[in-house]
Amino acid sequence: MASNLTYATEAAKLAGLGSDLTSKLSTVFVPSDEALAAYAAANPS
């Protein structure tokens, strides 16, 4: 089951928004391990 963070991150990427917004979203939603892995893959450090 995908978390809200996954959808929010995908929506932000589609809208062309940067990591600042997605990092703010991550403080609002409690991500699952799957969502964290997807976020890490989408945002290499």
Q: 25-34 long-range CB contacts below 8 Å, 24 or more apart?
A: 29/3, 29/4, 29/5, 30/3, 30/5, 31/3, 31/5, 31/6, 32/1, 32/2, 32/3, 32/5, 34/2, 34/3, 34/6
The whole-number pLDDT of residue 36 equals 78
Per residue in 7-16, pLDDT (tens digit) is 777 776 766 6
Is the predicted pLDDT of residue 42 greater than 80, yes or no?
yes
Per residue in 14-39, pLDDT (tens digit) is 666 566 666 666 666 666 778 778 88
Give the pTM: 0.30
Average pLDDT, the chain: 71
